[in-house]
């Protein structure tokens, strides 16, 4: 077993994307001497000090005896914590950067505006050759509610508020955000839902948020409300969501994340007329955004300092 750090930091990269070369190039530019390894050629497992991972096979990380830090390839870490053998003594950091936040802002603003301006109905009118004007409230008359007021949710809520929407947010602990009415905790969830016309999901997946969006919670939204989810698919009981859409209680949904990804062929969400499906692209992790963070964390680790953007394993996010 090695006891001292090798002169070259050894990082194992685990991804489901086909962009490994891009990652290798960008990271190698930022991290001098980086020994970049991949899952198909990891070399001696005892040499691996750092892992940059999306969804490693359960039990794999426990086989790395000299692992010093795990860097999540996403802002979320549920894919790591679902491994029962995740080495608990190794710190886990997650992606936090302006690149990721900006991309999520774009996605949320795009779809809030689409819902608000009833774009789905105008698209259907166009297909039918129908020239019809719908009643259109202005943004100040539309109540948007953002679940999750962390790095991504806070930014999205602020930018929607800048557009003039009546914005509220919901988080575990109390937040204070200018021009956003903040609700906190389970006790205030119902009141938050009751005042929300467009619900936006930007929550991490934890035991508390799994299946949070179900028949009961959807029923607390005003009739005709809509839903945009870019958090995690496992937060939604998809049959309940479909039932709410079928009954018209929910007017539409835009979903980037699903219980099972890729969304299985033949799933009703693919073809429901009031659903927009995107393939988990709301905010992709861009190596140009992550490289500085990984470089800094490797430096910190090698100096024996605490890493930045650490996950609290007791909270699960
Ligand atoms: P953060 O950890 O910064 O923020 C999480 C927020 O959720 C916090 O405000 C937190 O409350 C709140 N929260 C957590 N648990 C609860 C709960 N039980 N009840 C109420 N609020 C809760 O995460 P990010 O903003 O960086 O990312 C959020 C999620 O977005 C990620 O975990 C990931 O799942 C998803 N994501 C999706 C992407 C996509 O492309 N679709 C891309 C990137 C991320 P508090 O403020 O009190 O801590
Ligand atoms: C993430 C994601 O967590 O891409 O960053 O979903």
Residues 41-50 have a mean pLDDT of 98
Share of the chain above pLDDT 90, in %: 96
> Which ligand 1 atom lies nearest to the CA of residue 256?
41
Q: Is the CB of 75 under 6 A from ligand 2?
A: yes
Residues 265-270 have a mean pLDDT of 98
Q: Is the CB of 206 under 6 A from ligand 1?
A: yes
pLDDT on residue 16: 84
- Specify whether domain 10-95+285-302 bears CATH 1.20.810.10: no
Assess whether pLDDT exceeds 60 at residue 83.
yes
Tokens coding 1: 């077993």
Q: What is the pLDDT of residues 151-175, one digit of tens each?
A: 999 999 999 999 999 999 999 999 9
In the reported structure, the alpha carbon of residue 204 is separated from the centroid of ligand 1 by a whole-number distance in angstroms of 4
Residues 113-139 have a mean pLDDT of 98
Residues 92-121 have a mean pLDDT of 98
Per-domain residue ranges of the chain: 10-95+285-302, 98-277
Domains 10-95+285-302 and 98-277 fall in the same CATH topology? yes
> Which ligand 2 atom lies nearest to the CA of residue 74?
5
Q: Is the CB of 74 under 6 A from ligand 2?
A: yes
Q: What is the pLDDT of residues 187-204, one digit of tens each?
A: 999 999 999 999 999 999
Determine how many CB atoms are found less than 10 A away from the CB of residue 15.
17
- Specify whether domain 98-277 bears CATH 3.40.50.720: yes
Quick one: pLDDT band at residue 300, thresholds 50, 70, 90? Answer: very high
pTM for the whole structure: 0.97
Catalytic residue list contains 232: yes
Q: Is the CB of 15 under 6 A from ligand 1?
A: no
Task: Lay out the sheet containing 92-93: strands in order across.
Answer: 35-38, 10-14, 50-53, 69-72, 92-93
Residues 131-146 have a mean pLDDT of 98
- Which ligand sits closest to the CA of 204? 1
Catalytic residue list contains 267: no
Q: Is the CB of 148 under 6 A from ligand 2?
A: no
Catalytic residue among 89, 280, 308, 315: 280
pLDDT on residue 188: 98
Residues 132, 64: Cα–Cα separation, whole Å? 63
Q: Which among 310, 306, 300, 290 has a CA at the least distance from the CA of 30?
A: 290
Q: What is the pLDDT of residues 48-82, one digit of tens each?
A: 999 999 999 999 999 999 999 999 999 999 999 99
Tell me whether the omega of the peptide bond preceding residue 262 falls within 30 degrees of 0, making it cis.
yes
Quick one: pLDDT band at residue 5, thresholds 50, 70, 90? Answer: low
Catalytic residue among 115, 116, 154, 232: 232
> Which ligand 1 atom lies nearest to the CA of residue 317?
2
pLDDT on residue 7: 80
Distances (CA, A) of 76 to 6, 81, 114, 223, 307: 30, 10, 26, 31, 17
Computed on alpha carbons and rounded to an integer, the radius of gyration of the chain in Å comes to: 21
For a substitution probing ligand 2, which of 92, 209, 285 has the most ligand atoms within 8 Å of its CB? Answer: 285
Distances (CA, A) of 136 to 116, 117, 133: 8, 7, 9
Assess whether pLDDT exceeds 90 at residue 117.
yes
pLDDT on residue 163: 98
Q: Is the CB of 289 under 6 A from ligand 2?
A: no
Assess whether pLDDT exceeds 50 at residue 1.
no
Instruction: Check: CB of residue 156 under 8 Å from CB of residue 113.
Output: no
> Which ligand 2 atom lies nearest to the CA of residue 95?
5
Chain-centre distance for alpha carbon 60: 24
In the reported structure, the alpha carbon of residue 283 is separated from the centroid of ligand 2 by a whole-number distance in angstroms of 7
């Amino acid at each position: 077993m090695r006891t001292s750090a090798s002169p070259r930091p050894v990082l194992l990269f685990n991804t489901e994307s086909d962009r490994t070369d891009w990652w290798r190039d960008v990271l190698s530019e930022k991290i001098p001497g980086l020994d970049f390894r991949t899952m198909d050629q990891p070399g001696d497992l005892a040499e691996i000090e750092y892992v940059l991972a999306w969804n490693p096979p359960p039990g794999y990380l426990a086989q790395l005896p000299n692992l010093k830090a795990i860097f999540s390839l996403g802002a979320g870490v549920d894919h790591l914590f679902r491994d029962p053998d995740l080495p608990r003594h190794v710190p886990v950091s997650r992606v936090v950067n302006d690149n990721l936040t900006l991309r999520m802002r774009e996605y949320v603003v795009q779809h809030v505006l689409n819902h608000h301006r009833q774009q789905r109905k105008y698209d259907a009118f166009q297909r039918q050759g129908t020239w019809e004007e719908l009643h259109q409230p202005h943004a100040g008359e539309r109540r948007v509610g953002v679940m999750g007021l962390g790095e991504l949710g806070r930014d999205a809520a602020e930018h929607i508020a800048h557009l003039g929407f009546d914005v509220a947010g919901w988080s575990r602990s109390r937040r204070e955000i200018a021009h956003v009415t903040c609700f906190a905790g389970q006790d205030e969830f119902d009141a938050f839902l009751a005042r929300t016309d467009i619900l936006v999901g930007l929550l991490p997946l934890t035991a508390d948020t799994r299946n949070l969006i179900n028949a009961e919670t959807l029923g607390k939204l005003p009739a005709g409300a809509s839903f945009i989810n870019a958090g995690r698919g496992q937060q939604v009981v998809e049959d309940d969501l479909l039932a709410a859409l079928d009954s018209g209680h929910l007017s539409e949904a835009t979903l980037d994340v699903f219980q099972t990804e890729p969304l299985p062929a033949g799933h009703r969400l693919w073809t429901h007329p009031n659903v927009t499906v995107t393939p988990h692209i709301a905010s992709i992790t861009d190596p140009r955004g992550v490289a500085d963070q990984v470089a800094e964390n490797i430096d910190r680790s090698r100096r024996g300092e605490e890493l930045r953007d650490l996950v609290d394993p007791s909270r699960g996010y």
